[in-house]
Amino acid sequence: MFTGAMVAMITPFQDGDIDWQTLDEVIRFQLENGIDAIVPVGTTGECPTLTHEEHKKVIERVVKTVGGKVPVIAGAGSNSTAEAIELTAFSKKVGADATLQVCPYYNKPTQEGFYQHFKVISEEIDLPMVLYNIPGRCGAGLTPQTVARLAELDNIVAIKEATGSLDQASEIASLCDITIISGDDSLTLPLASIGGKGVISVVANIIPADVKAMTDAILEGDFTTALKWHKKLFMLCKSMLTLATNPIPIKAAMAMLNMSSEELRLPMTPLEDSKKAILRQTLKDYGLLD
């Protein structure tokens, strides 16, 4: 359930509301292209600007539309432990297969605070949990030692590593056998070199089959083929990470490809025109636009 190509799915908007029809179309596109799992309402899904009710409705809609064809790993994290428990309980109730649990943000817990936060969630709700370590968004992150402690708990099965540090991931791999998943598209193959098993991918919103081709090669131990895919994917992946804050570039790309509107919710703003020109050229170079 926690290996391969997993899409960090956008939440499409239209005129300020969630565009449910496009949400269903995005899911069908992913299923048709062989994605291994769908991860709604994470960073890419703009969970910070969804109301709690919208957040829950998206999880429920994704589970229903996927219909058990692939696992759904629902974003259910919060900087409030009680709120994370509530979202996790809801995710289980509506049939999600697992949850993605981001490190508590803004309040900057100690390592013991991180440990107790995730421990309580895992004990309260019997549902597999993927830790999400992204200190650049959260202000603080998990140390490898804390990850190793958490890996001893039954429900904690994987970690989405978005620190950008191979040393961090290597130390985690040396301390425990938790499944390591890349949280940065451009680092999926480098992380695989120290035992990574796949990616929760932003760029898979537009090219799921290509991301899966790379992760399939990784899981088969065919690193020659995986490297070819890495080189093909790299510039597109970097554009999604560096032109602006995620999910601004991926929404702009999906609008260019007529897959979704580029609409975001404040404080996120559309990609600047000068950067749209760069992104459009990147999509052309990849072969996605004429």
Q: Which residues are catalytic?
A: 132, 160
Distance CA 98, CA 74 (A): 6
- For 213-279, give the DSSP string: HHHHHHHTT-HHHHHHHHHHHHHHHHHHHHSSSTTHHHHHHHHHTTSS-----TT--PPPHHHHHHH
Distance CA 245, CA 205 (A): 16
Distance CA 201, CA 74 (A): 14
> What stretches of 45-151 show up as alpha helix (H) in DSSP?
52-66, 81-94, 111-124, 135-138, 144-151
Q: Letter for the amino acid at 104?
A: P
User: Distances in Å between the alpha carbon of 68 and those of 27, 46, 61, 73, 155?
Assistant: 12, 24, 12, 12, 20
Distance CA 50, CA 165 (A): 30
Distance CA 149, CA 260 (A): 41
- For 89-104, give the DSSP string: HHHHHHT-SEEEEEPP
